[in-house]
C-alpha cells in the first residue's frame, strides 16, 4: 500500500468541484488516514484558493463556508509535514536546479523530506500540475494526476 502526498492543486479538489474531484475522493476514501500526507502549508494555500473563488463569485458564500469547514476537518486528519529547516533547504535546492515557483518548490521539498522520514515506503506525489508532476518524477517519485486517480483507487480496492 502506498502513501499519497497531495500537493495543493490536488488537495483543493477535495473541497471544490474540478476535473478529477470524483476520482480523487474515491482514492482518498480507499486510503487510510495515516497514509495521506500534505505539507503544513497546503491548508493555507487551499484556503486562499477557496476565498479567492468566493470573492470572484465562482462559488457562493454558503458553499465557501461549507468547503472551509470541511477543509479544517480533513486537514487535521492528514499527516502534515511541518515547514522545518529541512523542508526549506530542500525547497531552496529545488529552486537552484529547476524552474519551479517557490510554492511548488515548498510542496516538493516537503514531499522529499517526508520521503526521507518514511524510508522504504512508496510515496505517490499527487498533483494536478503537469509541471510539478514532471519535477516530482525527476526527483524519483511515482506521480499521479488526480484525474487519473480512478485507476489508482481500483488498485487500492475501490470499485
Q: What is the pTM of this model?
A: 0.90
Total count of residues recorded for the chain? 159
Confidence of residue 2 (pLDDT cuts 50, 70, 90): confident
Residue 11 lies in a domain: yes
Pick left, alpha or beta for residue 57 (phi over 0 → left; psi -120 to 50 → alpha; otherwise beta). Answer: left
**pLDDT of 61-75, one tens digit each?**
999 999 999 999 999
Residue tagged 520521503 (cell numbers): 115
The cell for 49 is 484558493
Residue 152 lies in a domain: yes
Residue 46 lies in a domain: no
The cell for 127 is 498533483
Residue 151 lies in a domain: yes
Question: Is the model more confident about 155 or about 24?
Answer: 24
Confidence of residue 154 (pLDDT cuts 50, 70, 90): very low
Range of the structural domain that residue 89 is part of: 3-40+78-156
What CATH number is associated with residue 143?
A: 3.40.50
Residue 140 lies in a domain: yes
- Mean predicted confidence (pLDDT) in 111-119: 94
Confidence of residue 155 (pLDDT cuts 50, 70, 90): low
Residue 35 lies in a domain: yes
Residue 14 lies in a domain: yes
Query: Which residues are CB-contacts of 124 (< 8 A; sequence separation ≥ 6)?
Result: 2, 3, 4, 5, 141, 142, 143, 144, 152
Does residue 91 carry a pLDDT above 60? yes
Per DSSP, which regions of 8-154 are E strands? 36-39, 79-81, 123-126, 142-144
- Mean predicted confidence (pLDDT) in 106-128: 95
Confidence of residue 158 (pLDDT cuts 50, 70, 90): very low
Whole-number average pLDDT of the chain:
92
Residue 70 lies in a domain: no
> What 3-state DSSP class applies to 58?
coil
As a whole number of angstroms, the distance between CA 68 and CA 38 comes to 17
As a whole number of angstroms, the distance between CA 53 and CA 74 comes to 20
Q: Say how many domains are in the chain.
A: 1
Amino acid at each position: 500500500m502506498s502513501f499519497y502526498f497531495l500537493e495543493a492543486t490536488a488537495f483543493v479538489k477535495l473541497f471544490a468541484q474540478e476535473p478529477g474531484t470524483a476520482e480523487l475522493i474515491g482514492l482518498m476514501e480507499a486510503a487510510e488516514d495515516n497514509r495521506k500526507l500534505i505539507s503544513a502549508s497546503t491548508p493555507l494555500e487551499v484556503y486562499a484558493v477557496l476565498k479567492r473563488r468566493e470573492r470572484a463569485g465562482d462559488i457562493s458564500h454558503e458553499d465557501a463556508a461549507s468547503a472551509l469547514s470541511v477543509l479544517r476537518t480533513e486537514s487535521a486528519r492528514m499527516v502534515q509535514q511541518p515547514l522545518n529547516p529541512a523542508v526549506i533547504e530542500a525547497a531552496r535546492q529545488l529552486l537552484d536546479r529547476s524552474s519551479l515557483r517557490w510554492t511548488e518548490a515548498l510542496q516538493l521539498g516537503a514531499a522529499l523530506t517526508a520521503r526521507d522520514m518514511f524510508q522504504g515506503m512508496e510515496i505517490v506525489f499527487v498533483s494536478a500540475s503537469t509541471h510539478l508532476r514532471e519535477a516530482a518524477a525527476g526527483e524519483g517519485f511515482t506521480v499521479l494526476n488526480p484525474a487519473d486517480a480512478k485507476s489508482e483507487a481500483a488498485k487500492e480496492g475501490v470499485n
